[in-house]
């Protein structure tokens, strides 16, 4: 396949230059003005951007109402299709999807972005990953052996929890370093100790995994960064010290602006500004997949408006996201990389009305829209 008459965005420089793109099988083999090949697709003067990468989704998050276990899995099918149609070709699921859903996507049984999974959110007893509900006395709302028990108390149990996730197929380990937004004031969620966090990170590293940490507060974000997590998620209330800790420890920041309540919007945008000023690398994550909620395209607009600009927002969802997730074969349009490509209807580098501008989407060289 050859895509002609289009501009190709380099997300790292923010520059788009006219070029043809040749794809053989699943791989981009040539990019340049003199590139030729069969089966030409006329880009009609549009913009080619790398397939988008969402670093924080929940494609199969359980609903509160009691439903059979299969409902959680089956609900993920239209969610995954919707994401792919909107140009999102890779996602990191941050709690809910299991190895079976990942397998179904890889085998082509269902269409969707390539899935990296974390299964559950690890936490101490009473922490964010503890699904005990005092009003109903329910200890585990999943009740699913493919999503193992995430609770621990003490460093040794923390290591055992990591091993349970690895055994069940986790690509990443998720840690609840702070409580939920709703319980920050009343401190209902127990936070892990520094020793427990370090044990989680060390055991994950021994198993060839990295850790993403849910952390709303500055203290939790800084503690997670010091423990060695690879990314801090949300970080609504960062301060200078926390931003500096992220930078010093080589930690990415995935701010997930879209789902946070408007009353915290100003504080959240200030946290992002502090991270940018400190030189912390930013990767894009939406937190909620399309249900009727938001997705990465909403997050792109909010990142752009909060200081990254359109080019920076696209970089956070392509090349920078690929670096965070250790996926060197994607995130850019260059020879030798996987052919995850989105063709937009005009050449403007703009993230507003992104969905309406999508003409075609290719995933690993196969046209999916």
Q: Which residues pair with 92 in a beta bridge?
A: 116
* DSSP code of residue 188: -
What is the model's pLDDT at position 341? Answer: 98
What is the model's pLDDT at position 66? Answer: 72
What is the model's pLDDT at position 292? Answer: 56
Q: Are 100 and 117 in contact (CB under 8 A)?
A: no
What is the model's pLDDT at position 295? Answer: 84
Cα–Cα distance for residue pair 291/294, rounded to 1 Å: 8
pLDDT above 90: residue 134: no
Cα–Cα distance for residue pair 77/101, rounded to 1 Å: 9
What is the pTM (predicted TM-score) of this model? Answer: 0.96
DSSP string, 160-172: HHHHHHHHTT-SS
Domains of the chain, first to last: 2-49+331-367 (2.30.40.10), 52-325 (3.20.20.140)
Kindly state the average pLDDT of the residues 231-260.
Answer: 97
What is the model's pLDDT at position 67? Answer: 77
176-203 confidence digits (pLDDT tens): 999 888 777 767 788 999 999 999 999 9
% of the chain exceeding 70 in pLDDT: 94
Cα–Cα distance for residue pair 17/6, rounded to 1 Å: 8
Q: How confident is the model at residue 62 (pLDDT cuts 50, 70, 90)?
A: low
Q: Of 124-133, 243-252, 316-325, give the lowest mean pLDDT range.
A: 124-133
Q: Of 22-36, 93-107, 278-292, give the lowest mean pLDDT range.
A: 278-292
DSSP string, 221-281: HHHHHHHT-SEEEEEEE--HHHHHHHHHTT-EEE---TTS-GGGHHHHHHHHHHHHHHT--
């Amino acid at each position: 396949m050859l895509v002609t008459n289009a501009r190709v965005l380099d997300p790292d420089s923010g520059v788009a230059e006219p070029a043809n793109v040749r794809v053989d099988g699943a791989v981009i083999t040539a990019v340049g003005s003199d590139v030729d090949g069969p089966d030409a697709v006329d880009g009609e003067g549009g913009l080619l951007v790398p397939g988008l990468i969402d670093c924080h989704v929940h494609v199969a998050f359980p609903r509160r109402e009691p439903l059979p276990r299969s409902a959680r899995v089956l609900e993920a099918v239209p969610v995954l299709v919707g994401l792919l149609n909107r140009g999102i070709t890779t996602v990191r699921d941050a709690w809910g999807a299991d190895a079976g859903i990942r397998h179904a996507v890889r085998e082509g049984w269902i269409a969707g972005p390539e899935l990296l999974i974390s299964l559950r959110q690890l936490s101490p007893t009473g922490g964010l990953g503890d699904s005990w509900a005092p009003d109903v006395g329910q200890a585990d709302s999943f009740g699913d052996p493919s999503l193992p028990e995430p609770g621990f108390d003490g460093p040794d149990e923390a290591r055992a929890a990591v091993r349970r996730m690895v055994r069940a197929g986790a690509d990443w380990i998720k840690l609840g370093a702070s409580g939920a937004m709703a319980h920050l004031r009343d401190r209902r969620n127990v936070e892990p100790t520094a020793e427990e966090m370090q044990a989680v990170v060390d055991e994950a590293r021994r198993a060839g995994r990295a850790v993403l940490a849910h952390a709303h507060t500055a203290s939790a974000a800084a503690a997670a960064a010091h423990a060695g997590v690879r990314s801090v998620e949300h970080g609504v209330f960062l301060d200078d010290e926390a931003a500096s800790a992220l930078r010093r420890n080589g930690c990415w920041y995935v701010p997930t602006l879209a789902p946070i309540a408007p009353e915290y919007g100003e504080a959240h945008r200030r946290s992002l500004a502090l991270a940018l000023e400190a030189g912390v690398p930013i990767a894009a994550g939406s937190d909620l997949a399309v249900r009727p909620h938001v997705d990465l395209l909403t997050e792109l607009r909010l990142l752009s408006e909060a200081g990254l600009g359109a080019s920076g927002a696209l970089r956070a969802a392509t090349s920078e996201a690929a670096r965070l997730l250790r996926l060197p074969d994607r995130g850019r349009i260059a020879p030798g990389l996987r052919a995850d490509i989105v063709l937009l209807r005009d050449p403007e580098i703009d993230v507003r009305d992104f969905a309406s501008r999508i003409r075609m989407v290719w995933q690993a060289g196969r046209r999916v829209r």
